[in-house]
Structure 1
Amino acid sequence: MDNPLENVKNNIAELTAAQRKVADYIIQHPSETAFLTVDQLAREVGTSTTTIMRLTFHLGYTGYSEFQKGMQGVLRNKAAPHTRLETNLQHMDDSDLWGHTVNRHVEQIENMRGLISTDYLDTVVDEVLDAGRIFCTSVRSGLPVGQYLTHGLNRTLGNTQLVIADMSDWIDEVIHMKASDVIIATSFPRYAQRIIDYVKEAKQRNVTVIAITDSYSAPIVEYADYILPCDSSSAAFHNSPVAAMIAADYIISAAAIRNSEKTRERLDEVNNILTNIQYHHNR
């Protein structure tokens, strides 16, 4: 029997916006989906039962019932780590905010690990290593991720720059972009329009787009070649970059290790300059 979760993820790009919203819920809540009726799922997602049925037909199932049986089979065969964590958190003392915060992020990271395979990430790293230029773009809550990626990749590759989409005058730059370039865009709710505008213009020039975002229903997904889903929810009101930072850290580490000889040469040169200008404090 095929894996319905993998089927959903592999066909994300072909779905309509309404179907992607359903797909995102299914991927984020596999245990709930396995036991919800089609009417209950429609209410949870805020869509129609017709949209859900069309999604299952598109994925090759005879209907929602067959799809759901496949989901139940997946859960029987393998209980995902994040499902166990969700169960444990239900019994947590809410007065322990520190423990709740730590557990929440562990859950998010485990969930992300289940959603993004090593092979998929390594394909993303291939695109990064083959890029002529890399543009990391983000705003506000996503900015720490963009800054971290820019610093790490530029130290390794020397071809990366940060574009703050709602401040930088990227319009003058985007007209010179080429198909050999790559954009790594971090986009969290409420999804800044300027990032979408930037990525959309870049796609018209055949630039490869890697999206780090919270869900498959995020607006940037429409223009992305690669999607790294990273839950950005927090215990309070803000978007948390913690899960996205893990994905960013992997990309930086893998790029440096797979390009180790050039990385070593660049780090030696950078260190020589820092030493010459006495950049670091001497105890």
Structure 2
Amino acid sequence: MENPISNLINKISDLTEAQRKVADYILKKPMDVAFLTVDQLAGIVGTSTTTIMRLTYSLGYSGYTEFQKGLQEHFRSQTAPQSRLEANLKGLDSDDLWTSYVEHQINNIQSTVEMISTSTLNETIEMIVSAERIYCTSVRSGMPVAQYLTHGFNRLLGNCELILADLSDWIDKVVSFTSSDLIIVTTFPRYAKRIIELVYRAKENGAKVIAITDNYSSPIVKYSDLVIPSNSDSIAFHNSAVPAMFVADYLISAVAIRNPGKTKERLDKINSILTDMKYHHQ
């Protein structure tokens, strides 16, 4: 669904006089409308709930609730951090912040689980274990996910490397990418142009791309062989990496469990070295 504000502006000439009155208020105070009930909005504007419902239908939404969710998502993912914080504070119960946070993250994880099919996860794992080399990359809020994946896969498989997209050094690596290589990229709003450039160049050389991102309208999707959607909403101003870390932890666990022999052999060797290092330092 497109930006609800742009959608409303584009369709305003087709609205009835009563609907335009509602539209005018939405355009003047969209952040307020994002958290008003349909009854509250009708009372403020001085119209009926039926008029508001018909307005949202004409914009292509199933109803006011869907339109309102579109507004909320727009403010959380497309606006400046301070505006996103303001939008979130309007719907937040600050009396019990910890409970609100926990409930929010549980809902985030649940919605992420519902968006990812078993076949997508199976295909992801197959791409990981069959890759000759694996590169994980991200910037800002997605970087902890890339670092966690790199550590986990390198410990299990020994062929994973972290690429810092903020540094131009990745150019020296990307020129030698082949179809046997895999890039796992994590990206959330505001999407970094340098991530897109890295992936675009990798695809030019035939590398496979798995994207962990917040939705299918993310600009990284067009360059990806496989997309793992991950809700990045937070109760504050930032993108939350918690659901993506949940996915990352599953992928590491699944790779280990599906390759028990190879995993045990490698971990035994690593453990032997770590134990020996501890012995010599005593």
TM-score norm. by structure 1 comes to: 0.68
CA contact (8 A) 1:135 1:184 kept: yes
Q: How does 1:57-206 map to 2 (within 5 A)?
A: 93-167=93-167, 169-206=169-206
Aligned mates of 1:135, 1:172 — CA distance in 2:
13
Aligned pair count reads 209
Output the amino acid matched with 1:237: F
The one-letter amino acid paired with 1:147 is Q
Partner residue, 1:236: 236
RMSD, aligned CA: 2.6
- 1:93 CA displacement: 3.9
Ranges in structure 2 where 5+ consecutive residues have no aligned partner: 5-53, 72-89
Shift of 1:131: 0.3
Share of identical aligned residues, percent?
Answer: 50
**TM-score, with structure 2 as normaliser:** 0.68
Contact in 2 for aligned 1:21/1:217 (Cα 8 Å): no
Deviations along 1:28-58, one digit per CA (max 9) or x if unpaired, are xxxxxxx952415397659xxxxxxxxxxxx
- 2:61 aligned residue: 41
CA distance, structure 1, for counterparts of residue 209 and residue 129 of structure 2? 14
Shift of 1:167: 2.1
CA distance in 2, matches of 1:99, 1:212: 27
Task: Indicate the structure (1 or 2) with the bigger Cα radius of gyration.
Answer: 2
Alpha-carbon distance between aligned partners in 1 of 2:197 and 2:279, rounded to the nearest angstrom: 39
> What are the Cα deviations for residues 102-153 of structure 1, in whole angstroms up to 9, with x where unaligned?
0011001111111101221011100001101000001111111001000001
| Structure 2 CA distance for partners of 1:234 and 1:260, relative to 1, 3 Å | same
4+ runs deviating over 2 angstroms: 19-22, 40-46, 90-94, 279-282
Distance, in Å, in 2 between the alignment partners of 1:118 and 1:211 is 16
Q: Which residue of 2 aligns with 1:269?
A: 269
Contact kept? 1:141, 1:240, Cα under 8 Å: yes
State the distance in 2 between where 1:98 and 1:41 align: 33
C-alpha distance in 2, partners of 1:170/1:281? 36
Q: Which residue of 2 aligns with 1:87?
A: none
Taking the aligned partners of 2:221 and 2:184, their CA distance within structure 1 comes to: 12
Distance 1:280 1:147, change over 3 A: farther
Q: Deviation per CA, 1:57-87, whole angstroms, max 9, x where unpaired?
A: xxxxxxxxxxxxxxxxxxxxxxxxxxxxxxx
CA pair 109-40 structure 1, distance change in 2 beyond 3 A = same
Question: Is contact 2:215–2:229 with CA below 8 Å preserved after alignment?
Answer: yes
Q: 1:168 deviation in Å? A: 5.2
**Contact conserved, 1:135 with 1:182, CA < 8 A, in 2?**
yes
Look up the SS of the partner of 1:228 in the other structure.
Answer: strand
Q: Deviation string for 1:157-202 (max 9, x for gaps)?
A: 1100001101250101101000011000000111111111000001
